[in-house]
Amino acid sequence: MDVSYDDGKTWSQTGVTQIGESGLVTLHHPQSIGYVSLRVAATDNAGNTVDQTVIRAYRLTSE
């Protein structure tokens, strides 16, 4: 899984922790206000694949 804080211009790979048949991703957001974009690619044991990118998946705001 990859994350972008500039609408997909640059991407950083994130770590995925496997928990049983699921996964957990922890993101460390920047202090600035903006949007988070997510990109994932996965393949199952049968060889099926998925690639998905969501630009501006959610917004970061100040509290």
**Spatial distance between the Cα atoms of 22 and 38, rounded to a whole number of angstroms:** 17
**Spatial distance between the Cα atoms of 51 and 40, rounded to a whole number of angstroms:** 6
Q: Write out pLDDT tens, residues 2-55.
A: 999 999 999 999 989 999 988 899 998 888 899 999 999 999 899 999 999 999
Return the SS3 of 1: coil
Q: Which residue has the tokens 């957001």?
A: 29
Global confidence as pTM: 0.84
Q: Which residue has the tokens 């060889």?
A: 47
In this prediction, residue 31 carries a pLDDT of 87
